[in-house]
Structure 1
């Protein structure tokens, strides 16, 4: 009889295959985790680089001599290939188009098939100019600028050519680009042999900076509804104020949304003010902290730590130690780091509530004053206009202060005003409209429900 000398049984093919699959599966999980962490690091670095790039542009602009004109990017790369379409390859690395220039009709876009033409504005419809207005409305300011500059250089718009000039003048005025405005004024005067529009130095940066007219008053920076990369203009002004005054006032009462880039820029500015030991008057700081908290989630690592760090920076300024410690614990749990220590401010920090401005009721005036910027939901605005229309047959909407209407908001505004224009005996008139908004309204179909009177160029 044959005796087995080896007590170990041979490994079956099925068992070997199962072991191999387990090893492969574990390796795949490790690779996926490594890939996920690497991807998050790349996103974080990209966000930080974006913040760095914005700050670099700010420092470069601040170092440019006032007498030197800004760098002008040639617009030869802007070529029209099909009706209502453009190639913008020459700026593709800096600006990404988010709206198709081949737009559907207003009726298809909004689902509105019936328009009441009680008061139709006599506005020339020029597709190229309407496209530029839409780009401006969607925040693609540089693309709109290059499109208008190209149209002026090519001079192929016929009788509509002055409209392109006026749109570009309005764009430079809104952007507070005085160098470009004055350069365009010289070209305009040479071509048309008449006086160009006047630069209004009293107008401020998109209503985001409120400089007191009283000598010796505290310089004030009022932040906009969106705290994003666009606040770089305000921070430039803040830097200028900091060189002239030891006391600064920061108003966050209008902030409704924040993003990581905006938080990163503001964080750096706040830290610089701490280093220079500026005294601060902070208005509606609680509102800012609430907006920051709304985008944070404990345990979720976003592309940058900036919102967390800004939140803790503000809480330290306000000397809210308990709230700071709670936020710091959430921060260290999320990013697996040691919680930062609380540091009380070494300079004077005063908090203040938003100022209540008494306004003259709309019903006591003959016209309805439109805000400087219309964005987001227009429900409240349309409701106010509707109330105003109850006591006025001619609904005059004063747009003398209106600078920009967001693309989506213009569609909502149209839908909201259609019932008013359809009421018997009622008519709507937009007065003193800048040329960028005028062509946006034209493209969106508001000219079919209201008269649109452009602002006089003086």
Structure 2
């Protein structure tokens, strides 16, 4: 009687599984194998990720060793000119040119093999050719020096030797037929190179205003908005028969008046006339008082300094709904950073609000903002309870929200584990990790990111390739600004701006949100600009609306500083 393998779904096989697992319920015996396979595949994915990290670390260490060997050989070639110098390790270990050629060949083979293994499974989109790395057949040409930053060029020696000695280059395979190239010598430059300052920016055009606009500018500076509007309309009627290009500044001055006073209806009516007159679209509407919000200075006779915007603070309710998120988003649009959000009272989140909150956290992560999270434990506990591995009862939006929150916090390791659980649970690819731009700090001590920081390179190849703009770029410094209504003495607002002056550069004062300057304040600006001119410091007031720009010309500030009106 031949023995046959019992059917996997038969009673006998089920009895065998029950004997092997006496503690398992009879109805759950069929699920044991499926659970084991799921655990096995999950463990395999974890081991794959760990193995990839370990291989990347080993490759990085081996490439570092190869670079050290090359640098050591370069130093040895430089010291051969001095007969009394002590031989280096590279020279002492290589007794003949043939041995050095063999070593160079082995290094080439190792690099080519590692390069092929490294990029074997990598996508080639946007990476160009993935040919194995090898030693260049010719020395680096001189135009490559133009991509190096000034500080790097200053640190270079006067003469740069080739990568290997001439004898080794002749003995290396593939180089015997080519003549030996002379050492790469950069063009002589004045010393020290690092002190060379960038060329000064081009001077702006001289602002020449229409004389008929002076009366309207004086009325506006005195707070007579209605009189300024009537005066501008009268000037516009007087120049109605002039060339359209000569009337352009008058129209733009009236547009600036409406935007500075927040009058949208007359602005839109004027836009229709402007489009019919010039056959082009009118300027875009915006309200300076609305942009300033609570920070706008009130129109009073006393000098009121600009009120700094306070940081924003928000506390999550017990049940977070879609309306709560919409209100939060609208409030943040008018709030100044840093933003502090407290999640301590959070108990649940409406499922209809999950996509909106996920999108909002993604926007925060992609912005150069500072975020402070309090009560992070409540938020993390809620999201963790809704994203249990292997349970498909919960909506996938919970998983997306948790991964968006982890990305915002800069928790890469935890993000990968959650993404792995998401992949195992739903058998779909999880969202990929993107380096956040925001600066995050939590009350649990976790700090990550820096606003405006460049993302880390994804590979050693990207680490070795660079561009001049990326290396020469400096972090953006605070920009001098004047905003609101300035009345009385403007000296307290102008004095702190001198701390932001860059040596050899003009002081650019942004006036995009400057609403009005009265006569006493304009007089103090005149005295301050004259002092800066006497001290040799150039000053530019940029993006002024035209009523303030005309006033500065009337007062005489244009004789000591540059007046640059806005273009829109």
TM-score normalized by the length of structure 2:
0.31
Higher relative contact order (CA 8 A, sep 6+): 1
TM-score normalized by the length of structure 1:
0.39
Larger Rg: 2
